[in-house]
Amino acid sequence: MLWGGRFDEKLNSLALEFSSSYDVDKTIVIEDLMVSKVHAAMLAKVGLISPDEANQIKSGLEQIESEWNSGAWHPGSSEFEDIHSAVEARLYEIIGKPAGKLHTGRSRNDQVITGFRLWTKKAITSLLDAVRELQKTMVSVADNHTETIISGYTHVQRAQPVSLAFHLLAYVEMLNRDAKRLEFVLSETDKSPLGSGALAGSTLPLDRQYTSDNLGFSEPCRNALDAVSDRDFALDFLNAVSVGMMHLSRLSEELVLWSTSEWSFIKLADSLTTGSSLMPQKKNPDMAELIRGKMGRISGNYIALLTIMKGLPLSYNRDLQEDKEPSFDSFKTYFECLHLMTMMIASMKPDTNKFENELKGDFSLATDLADWLVLKGIPFREAHSIVGHVVKLAEDSGKKFDQLTLEEIKTVNSIFDESALECFNIKTALWRKKTFGSPNPEIVKEEISYWNSLLSQK
């Protein structure tokens, strides 16, 4: 224990097991050791411990790190209430009395949150790499499908033709916002609480700038009271992960639909699908379904920490021990989901002719015909009504758009001429788009070049 002098009895064994965070915060043991090494070096710098004591402490901490990595030292929650007390106890065993000087000018409050911030910075960097890899994969696949026509949907009803490339680039945009959110959280996390003590700093001449610099932070936290109780960075992290997972969940839903017999648009790799224990013919998109399902736990983790924080007075409260498990779980889940999604997108096989055949003469070309009328000087609301009558004419005749003759559409309005029939040609539908941000293949190719250039710098 790192405390106990004013107590007559040891902590009850059940209370120790209940209150121990060891099994969770052992995740940040490397960060904890790093914090202690820098803290010891700072103590020697300002003359609070001797250089020899600092060297002994550093040597002992390096031995602990080696033992941890090799598996030679792995204490349990039945022995220690957290990883920090376990490290200090082991340090005593290795170097003896000098270990007692390591905690000079330091509280577990600032020690733990410093390690947690270091871990969060590292986690964000890993997630950014994974997000960028998924973006690059999507852009690469998109480059092969700028003219692969698919149906765009609103209300899960066919709306207008787009391309698979255009569709994938929509997710590239989402992922870019995910990356920007993570970059923001990284900047918010990049402040060092070390030296804040329990809540009010220290009477000792600690050099907080030194520890901040040597731990790789941009600056020290400016207010000790806030520094030890602030979990906004963790909330921002969990929020960023939640939004990112929501995007993966939406994409997963589309992959599930596209791979059904009803859609029959893509085939997912055998290595990323499963079968049925009863039905031999089944090929289930389980990875996509699991990503979609895990969104629940990710959003739950965010709500859990938000709920913990809402009633806490300044500064530290033991409730904050519950801050790390949601972050650790959300990181691991999101990181794995990003990699699995990258694999699914890279290996999926689209049927490039599927929608072109289905959309031939489809009513989803109706807006193109309305635009044709607008170019002839017809007000859009009137054009909308005219095309509605053309649709009804086709339905009543049991025909598709491209099966209507010029004579038939002229019965709706005499303004129609031969060029209007080109609006019913699905092969030219994408090329007719004029605006920036549309699925015109030339515009999409420019967007692919834009993303290739941008992502090559990441």
pLDDT digits (tens, 9 = 90+) for 263-309: 999 999 999 999 999 999 999 999 999 999 999 999 999 999 999 99
DSSP state of 193: -
Question: Whole-angstrom Cα distance, residue 118 to residue 128?
Answer: 16
Question: Whole-angstrom Cα distance, residue 105 to residue 123?
Answer: 28
Low-confidence stretches of the chain (pLDDT < 70) are 1-9, 11, 16, 19
pLDDT of residue 20: 79
DSSP state of 204: S
Cis before residue 315, ω within 30 degrees of 0?
A: yes
pLDDT of residue 5: 54
Radius of gyration of the chain (CA): 31
Catalytic residue among 78, 218, 276, 397: 276
Angle at 204 between CA 203 and CA 206, to 5 degrees: 125
Which has the closest alpha carbon to 390: 379, 377, 404, 380?
A: 404
Burial 361-395 (b: 16+ CB within 10 A, else e): bbbbbbebbbbbbeeeebeeeebeebbeebeeebe
Question: Whole-angstrom Cα distance, residue 27 to residue 403?
Answer: 66
Token reading at 77: 């929650």
Question: Whole-angstrom Cα distance, residue 373 to residue 416?
Answer: 8
Residue 440: burial class (beta carbons within 10 Å; 0-12, 13-18, 19+): buried
Residue 276 annotated in active site: yes
Question: Whole-angstrom Cα distance, residue 309 to residue 7?
Answer: 29
Q: Strand 266-267 vs strand 349-350: parallel, antiparallel, or unpaired?
A: antiparallel
Residue 126 annotated in active site: no
Residues 6+ apart with CB under 8 A from 225: 199, 200, 314, 315
Question: Whole-angstrom Cα distance, residue 87 to residue 214?
Answer: 21
pLDDT of residue 16: 66
Q: Strand 219-220 vs strand 191-192: parallel, antiparallel, or unpaired?
A: parallel
Catalytic residue among 155, 261, 271, 453: 155
Q: Strand 191-192 vs strand 157-163: parallel, antiparallel, or unpaired?
A: unpaired
pLDDT of residue 3: 45
Half-sphere exposure (Cβ direction) of 307: Cα atoms closer than 13 Å = 8
